[in-house]
Amino acid sequence: MNLRQFEVFHAIMRTGSVTGAARLLNVTQPSVSTVLKHCEAQLRFRLFNRVGGRLQPTPEALAMLPDIEAVFDRLAAVERLTQDLAGGRLGTLSVAAAFPIANSYLAQAVATFLVGRPGMRVALQSLNSPQVVDRVAAREVELGVVHEPVSRAEVETELLARTSIACVLPHAHPLAQRASVPVTALAGQPIITYLPQNIFRGYVDKALADAGVTPRIIAQVSVSLTGIVLAQHGAGIALVEPLMLRSLSFPELAARPLDPAITFDTVLVRPRGAPDSTMLERFVTHLRRTLVERDAGPH
């Protein structure tokens, strides 16, 4: 028996008639009768007897039914699987990101993406930017999210957002009363910023030098969160990326943009030439939507 014969047999068993089977399969009644006739000829025994206007299954048909129903149960399972895969409700997603990104809006996007997707699993790694790019280049993760610059032939990038260094300082600080902080206003202030080996330190140093400000740097940090915590405890003004300020609770602190702004790009990093899975396409769309909603919400 071929699969079409299985379908006709199963439909007749479910409906009890050729007419019902034709309606169920959305085909004509003669086509069902023809398939059934050919099937019985191949098998060399009858599958149904006509009793009182209905088809009565023979003992041979009843013996076959459990195995054929098992075939259709598996087909139904495959159909559900394909629907879940197409709908982005099932599968695995591996993402790596720079520490402040992974622990702020990316974690938020992953958490909200998982809602309604009980069959999905996510691996989210928090690393430094070079490590993220290495993982993507080695195809150990599907997607990376880092700050520019990225220069590896094995990967390709796509702009996700434009980010800025901000002044993170207590609400009670006089500079926090301004909508933005002129870089020149930082002269003489105790400054917390990145270690020289951090890629953002060059941006900060250039902005201060262009404004003619010789900074009074009292603390240097490797990650933004450490600078934010130092500012919370009164060490000084943190010139850092403020993502973690919005992701965690620091009610005593404010973030104010600098004037002129110190901006840089945040990019999505993928293995070069690798097609996106349906799951990844849907997640990237969701991530972008999360950023739009985040920027539109209260700061």
pLDDT in tens, 276-293: 888 899 999 999 999 998
- pTM of the predicted structure, to 2 decimals: 0.66
Burial of 82 (0-12, 13-18, 19+ CB in 10 A): exposed
Residues 16, 17, 19, 23: is their CA dihedral positive or negative? positive
Residue 89 scores a pLDDT above 70: no
271: part of which helix (H) or strand (E)? strand 253-271
Secondary structure (3-state) at 240: strand
Q: Which one of 19-23, 72-76, 149-153, 212-216 scores highest in mean pLDDT? A: 212-216
Characterise 127 by phi-psi region: left (phi > 0), alpha (psi -120 to 50), beta (else). Answer: beta
Q: Which one of 70-74, 86-90, 92-96, 154-158 scores highest in mean pLDDT? A: 154-158
Instruction: Quote the pLDDT of residue 243.
Output: 86
* Domain pair 91-159+267-296 / 162-265, same fold: yes
244 — pLDDT class (breaks 50, 70, 90): confident
C-alpha–C-alpha distance, residues 211 and 135, integer Å = 38
Of 29, 1, 226, 2, give the one whose Cα is nearest residue 12: 29
Give the β-pairing of 90-98 and 54-57.
unpaired
121 — pLDDT class (breaks 50, 70, 90): confident
17: part of which helix (H) or strand (E)? none
**What's the CATH superfamily of 162-265?**
Periplasmic binding protein-like II (3.40.190.10)
C-alpha–C-alpha distance, residues 155 and 151, integer Å = 8
Task: Count the helices and strands in the chain (H runs, E runs).
Answer: 11, 11
Ordered by start, the domain boundaries in the chain are 3-86, 91-159+267-296, 162-265
Class level of CATH domain 91-159+267-296: alpha beta
Type of residue numbered 62: L
Average pLDDT, the chain: 89
297 — pLDDT class (breaks 50, 70, 90): low
Angle separating helix axes 3-15 and 29-43, nearest 10 degrees? 110
Is the model more confident about 101 or about 118? Answer: 101
Other Cβ atoms within 10 Å of 6 Cβ, number:
17
What CATH code is assigned to 3-86?
A: 1.10.10.10
| φ, ψ of residue 229 in degrees (nearest 5) | -65, -40
Percentage with pLDDT > 70 across the chain: 94
